[in-house]
């Protein structure tokens, strides 16, 4: 039994100390997942907190047969996708508009947050802007695969889709991302 | 297979999701197709940029906020279930109480009522069968006791 699974089982019996260890172990991964799916540090912070609260409350439904990471990212993906649906993106200007107007690619919001301490190259900025323009479930799939290193099978379980649907989403997302990055390559 | 099929394989290859036979087939195609080589390059670039993004440290407030939130235990399922029934039921009872109370007040206890009015109203109730609610009210107004009836 992995550490995560035994901590989660203890948490399901109301052991808050065990749950605290789980939060400490996974908060960075989850925070970065939300940072890249929402593009905003404040939203990422709110959603990370919400995820762990939901996780604690659903601990009783956790079965050790399911991978802990799959269980956790299933809740996280639902939060990310419903968050995107519930709210208009904060940035009003699209990447295409900026290119049309001959403007520099956006200084991504992650850049504005000194606490986040992130420094992005111009290409990374353009990539993040292109990622932000993808449909929420495509963006989530890309981050689960490339950022969180989940397999296709795990992503399929997390997102409640078939493996071939996941393949197809990732393929179309890459076509779109590559196309959007084309103007930024020397 | 057409180039579109090979491009889907390129995406899976970048994710390490291609079997040996498929990988070999793709490699053979890439040797002869410039367009698919460019596709491999541009898809590969999206992956390498994404991987190069640094992992940001989470704000220190997350752990204390989460722990504070879960200190407040959520009601157990049976309490939640009970509340689902009890809250509307209580609301209904209060509402009915107000209706009945309002009815009784309007009928039997008008503001600044004279005793005469009350008596007339109670005489009306007098026609209720013995032992009924109206009967009880009449008895109460007459100072209790059932010797008269
Ligand atoms: Zn080709």
The Cβ of residue A53 has, within 10 Å, a number of other Cβ atoms equal to 16
Instruction: Enter the tokens of residue B78.
Output: 């049976």
Q: Is A54 exposed, middle or buried (0-12, 13-18, 19+ CB in 10 A)?
A: middle
Nearest by CB to residue A27, choosing from B12, B45, B58, is B58
Query: Nearest CA to CA, how far is A20 from chain B (Å)?
Result: 7
Q: Which residue, chain included where needed, has tokens 């939300």?
A: A34
Task: Tell me whether residues A170 and B52 touch, CB distance under 8 A.
Answer: no
Cβ atoms of B50 and A147 within 8 Å: the answer is: yes
Q: What is the pLDDT of residues A83-120, one digit of tens each?
A: 998 875 554 445 555 455 554 444 444 544 444 445 67
CA–CA dist A159, A74 (Å, integer): 6
- Tell me, what's the ipTM? 0.83
Predicted model pTM:
0.70
Cβ atoms of B62 and A23 within 8 Å: the answer is: yes
Task: Tell me whether residues A23 and B54 touch, CB distance under 8 A.
Answer: no
End-to-end CA distance of chain A: 50
Q: Which pLDDT value is given to residue B74?
A: 57
Domain borders along chain B are 3-52
Provide the CATH topology of domain A3-184: Rna Polymerase Sigma Factor; Chain: A (1.10.1740)
Nearest-by-CA chain A residue for B12 = A167
Distance of CA B60 to the CA centre of its chain: 30
Nearest-by-CA chain A residue for B61 = A45
Question: Helix A16-38 vs helix A68-86: angle between axes, to the nearest 10 degrees?
Answer: 50
Ligand 1 centroid to residue B33 C-alpha, Å: 5
B54 touches chain A (CB under 8 A): yes
Task: Tell me whether residues B42 and A48 touch, CB distance under 8 A.
Answer: no
Q: What is the mean pLDDT of residues B109-137?
A: 46
Q: What is the pLDDT of residues A32-89, one digit of tens each?
A: 999 999 999 999 999 999 999 999 999 988 988 889 999 999 999 999 999 998 875 5
Which of A29, A174, A176 is the best residue to mutate to test the B interface, defined by the most B CB atoms within 10 Å of its own CB? A174
Nearest-by-CA chain B residue for A165 = B8
Higher-confidence residue: B121 or B140?
Answer: B140
Instruction: Enter the tokens of residue B67.
Output: 């722990």
Query: Nearest CA to CA, how far is B92 from chain A (Å)?
Result: 31
CA–CA dist B21, B111 (Å, integer): 95
Q: How confident is the model at residue B119 (pLDDT cuts 50, 70, 90)?
A: very low
């Amino acid at each position: 039994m992995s550490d995560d699974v035994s901590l989660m089982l203890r948490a399901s019996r109301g052991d808050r100390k065990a749950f605290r260890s789980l939060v400490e172990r996974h908060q960075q991964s989850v925070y970065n997942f939300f940072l890249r799916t929402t593009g905003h540090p404040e939203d990422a912070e709110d959603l990370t907190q919400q995820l762990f609260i939901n996780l604690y409350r659903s601990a009783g439904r956790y079965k050790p047969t399911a991978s802990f990471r799959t269980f956790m990212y299933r809740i996280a993906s639902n939060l990310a996708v419903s968050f995107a649906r519930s709210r208009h993106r904060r940035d009003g200007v699209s990447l295409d508009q900026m290119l049309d107007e001959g403007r520099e690619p956006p200084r991504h919001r992650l850049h504005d947050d000194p606490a986040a301490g992130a420094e992005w190259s111009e290409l990374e900025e353009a990539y993040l802007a292109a990622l932000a323009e993808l449909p929420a479930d495509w963006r989530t799939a890309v981050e689960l695969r490339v950022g969180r290193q989940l397999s296709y099978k795990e992503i399929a379980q997390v997102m409640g889709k078939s493996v071939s649907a996941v393949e197809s989403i990732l393929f179309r997302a890459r076509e779109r991302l590559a196309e959007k990055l084309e103007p930024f390559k020397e | 297979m057409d180039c579109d099929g090979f491009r889907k394989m390129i995406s899976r290859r970048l994710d390490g999701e291609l079997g040996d036979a498929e990988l070999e087939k793709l490699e053979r195609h890439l040797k002869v197709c410039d367009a698919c080589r460019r596709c491999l390059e541009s898809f590969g670039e999206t992956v390498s940029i994404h991987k190069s993004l640094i992992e940001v440290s989470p704000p220190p407030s997350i752990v204390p906020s989460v722990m504070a939130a879960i200190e407040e235990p959520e009601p157990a399922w049976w309490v939640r279930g009970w509340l689902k029934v009890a809250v509307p039921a209580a609301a209904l009872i209060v509402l009915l109480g107000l209706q009945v109370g309002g009815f009784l007040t309007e009928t039997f206890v008008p503001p600044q009522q004279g005793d005469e009015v009350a008596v007339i109203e109670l005489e009306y109730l007098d026609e209720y069968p013995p032992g009924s609610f109206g009967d009880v009210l009449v008895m109460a107004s007459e100072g209790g006791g059932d010797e008269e009836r």
